[in-house]
Amino acid sequence: MKERIFRHAWKAGLVAALLPLAAGSANQGTAPSNGTVTRLQPAPLPQPLPDAGAIAAAHAATLDIPRFEAIAEALVAKGRIPGMAMAIVKDGRILSVRGYGITDVRAPLPVDAHTVFRLASLSKSFAGAMTGILVNDGVLRWDSRLTDYVPSFQLSMPEAASRMTVADILSHRTGLTHNAFDRDLEGNANYHDLTLRMANAPMACAPGQCYAYQNVAFSLIGDVVFATTGRFYSEEVARRIFKPLGMNDASYGLEGIEASARWARPHVRGRGGWVSLVPKPTYYRVAPAAGVNASISDMAQWLLAHTGHRPDVLPAPLLATLHAPLVDTPTETRGSSWRRTRLTTAGYALGWRAYNYSGHDVVFHGGAVQGYRGAMALLPEQDLGVAILWNSESPLPSGLLPTILDNALGLVGGQWLDDDTVDGSDDLLYAGRDALPVGASASAAKASPPPP
C-alpha cells in the first residue's frame, strides 16, 4: 500500500495544486474541496530501485500485433460473437485499427474501422474531459458546487446538496447508494424526474466521503455543462472534443447511432444463436454516463489524445488530473480472473478507473448495455492505449485487453483467454452465464446490468 501511495503522490499533488488555481465563475467564491484529494497527501519519499529483471522484461517485450489480430479473428469465427473492433496505439502511432465479424446476423455487413458501436460507460471519460476543458477555460472549478448551477437540487441529508462538487459527481462520491435509480431508468423513467427524487433517496455518506457507482447522478454533470456554456451537453462535447480530434463517426443518442452510415446492431442470445435487437433507449437518457456512439477509428483518436498526443485538446496537466485516483474502489480487485491476479489496488478518478496492475499504473474503463460491451485501457509508462468494442453480451473478448497489457509489460503466467477460443473450437459458441434457457425467446432476456 505504501508503494501505491508513493507512486501517486505526485499526481495527488498536481490535483491539489490545480483545484485552487483553476479560475472560478463569479459565484464560486472559495468553496473548499470537501477533502477531494486529502486522502493522497503524503509527500513523495525516495523509492527503492525497481527490480532490474522486471525492467528488462518490460522493455524487452514487443507488442505482438499479428497475434492480437489473429485472436480477434478467432473470436468472431463461426459465430462465436457477431462482431468486434479493436484499436491499439503506441508512441503516438496507430498500430492497429480494424473491425472483425459482422454488424447484424440478420443483414450481415462486415465490421470495419468506421462501424459505429454504442460505448455505454466508456462515455464517462468524455464527461470528465469535457468538464476539464471548462476548468481550463476558467469558467468552472473542480470544487465548484452543483447547487451553484442547479439551485433546486436537493438530497435527503441536511446540507448535503450544497456540499456536492463537480469532482464528487465525476468520481462517484455523491453519497447516494450504489447505482441509485438505475432500475427506474431501465423502467423508462424520465431523467429529470429521477433527479428530483434524489431529495428523498437514502444516502450512504455525505458527498465526497465514499464511493458508490452512479449513472443518473453522474449525469448531473450535463446540467452543469449546460448552465456553464448555454449549450446542450452533447453539442458541447461534439464541438470541443469530437470535431477537433477528428472523431467523425461519433455521435450521441439513439438518433445518432441510427443515422450512422454503418453501425453494429446489439445482440443477445436466443435458442437458435445470436439475435439482433433494436437498441434500447434507456441509458441514452443519461448522456454523460452512457450516451456516446463511436467507431474504433474514433476510439483510436481518443486513445491518442489520452496518451498525451493531442495537447491542443487535452493538455498534459489536465490528463494527469483526469487519470489520478480520488477514491478507493477495492471491489475492483475482485471479480474476473485477471483482476484477482493482476490488480493490487484500484481507485476511481474523473470518468476513469485507476489500477495498480502488477506494479504498473493502468487507467481503465469498461462499458455494458444490452447487446453491447466495451473496454479501454491506457498504460502510461509504455505510451500505450487499447480499445475493444463488440456488439454482443458475450464475455469472450474481455480477456483480450489484459492479454495485450501482459505482453506490453513482459508479464507471464496469465491465461485470460480460453484456449478453445484461440484454437478455434466451437465449444464456446453459446457459452456464458447470461444465455437464455432452452425455449426462451430473445425478448425474454433480462435487462443488461448497469454500465460498469
* Cβ-contact 273, 105 below 8 angstroms: yes
The verdict on residue 150 lying in a domain is yes
Can you tell me the mean pLDDT for 399-424?
A: 82
Q: What 8-state DSSP symbol labels residue 309?
A: I
Above 60 in pLDDT, residue 27? no
Candidates 411, 396, 267, 425; CA nearest to 336 is: 396
In a domain? residue 115: yes
13, three cell numbers: 499533488
pLDDT of residue 438: 27
Alpha carbon 188 to chain centroid, angstroms:
23
Residue 275 has a pLDDT of 96
Q: What is the pLDDT of residue 92?
A: 97
Residue 56 pLDDT greater than 90, yes or no: no
In a domain, 452, yes or no: no
Q: For 56-70, 206-220, 305-319, 324-338, which range has the lowest pLDDT when averaged over its residues? A: 56-70
C-alpha cell at position 303: 486513445
Q: Does the pLDDT of residue 214 top 70, yes or no?
A: yes
**Which of 198, 212, 127 is CA-nearest to residue 160?**
198
d(CA 249, CA 256): 9
Portion of the chain with pLDDT greater than 70, in percent? 79
Of 171, 140, 169, nearest in space to 22 by CA: 140
> Is the pLDDT confidence value at 309 over 50?
yes
137: its cell numbers: 477555460
Domain membership of residue 449 (yes or no) is no
Q: What share of residues in the chain are helix, strand, coil (percent, to 5)?
A: 40, 15, 40
Residue 235: C-alpha distances to residues 44, 176, 287 (Å): 41, 28, 11
Length of the chain: 452
What pLDDT does 49 receive? 44
Q: Residue 32's closest CA among 143, 107, 161, 115?
A: 143
Q: How far apart are the first and last CA of the chain?
A: 25
Give the whole-angstrom CA distance, residue 222 versus residue 188. 19
pLDDT digits (tens, 9 = 90+) for 72-122: 999 999 999 999 999 999 999 999 999 999 999 999 999 999 999 999 999
- 371 vs 37: CA distance, rounded Å: 37
- So what's the pLDDT on residue 51? 52
Q: Write out the DSSP string of 82-148.
A: SEEEEEEEETTEEEEEEEEEBS-SSS--B--TT-EEE-GGGGHHHHHHHHHHHHHHTS--TT-BGGG
The strand pairing partners of 353, in sequence order, are: 348, 364
pLDDT for the residue 140: 98
Grid cell at residue 160: 448535503
> For 219-237, what is the mean pLDDT?
98
Q: Give alpha helix (H) positions in 296-352.
A: 296-304, 316-323, 337-342
Whether the predicted pLDDT of 320 surpasses 90? yes
Q: What single letter denotes the amino acid at residue 231?
A: R
Q: How many domains does the structure of the chain reveal?
A: 1
Let me know if residue 450 belongs to a domain: no
Query: What is the per-residue pLDDT across 247-282, written as a single tens digit (0 to 9) for each?
Result: 999 999 999 999 999 999 999 999 889 999 999 999
- Position 48 scores a pLDDT of 46
Residue 60 has pLDDT above 50, yes or no: no
Whether pLDDT at 25 is above 60? no
Residue 451 lies in a domain: no
pLDDT tier at 419, thresholds 50, 70, 90: low
The pLDDT confidence band at residue 6, using thresholds 50, 70 and 90, is very low
**Which CATH number covers residue 52?**
3.40.710.10
Average pLDDT score, the chain: 84
pLDDT more than 90, % of the chain: 76
Q: What HEC string does 239-268 produce?
A: HHHHHHHCCCCCEEHHHHHHCCCCECCCEE
Q: Is 149 helix (H, G, I), strand (E, B) or coil?
A: coil
Task: Find out whether 155 and 201 touch, Cβ atoms under 8 Å.
Answer: yes
Whether 372 and 117 have beta carbons less than 8 Å apart is answered as yes
Q: Quick one: pLDDT at residue 100?
A: 98
Q: Is 70 exceeded by the pLDDT of residue 151?
A: yes
Q: Which three cell numbers, joined as nine digits, stand for 449?
A: 446490468
Which residue range is the domain that position 406 belongs to?
Answer: 2-444
pLDDT of 296 over the 60 cut: yes
Asked if residues 122 and 141 have their Cβ atoms less than 8 Å apart, the reply is no
Cell of 254: 439513439
CB 168, CB 196: distance < 8 Å: no
Residue 448 has pLDDT above 90, yes or no: no
> Residues 290-317: what's their mean pLDDT?
98
Please state the rounded mean pLDDT for residues 20-27: 31
Give 290's pLDDT tier (boundaries 50, 70, 90).
very high
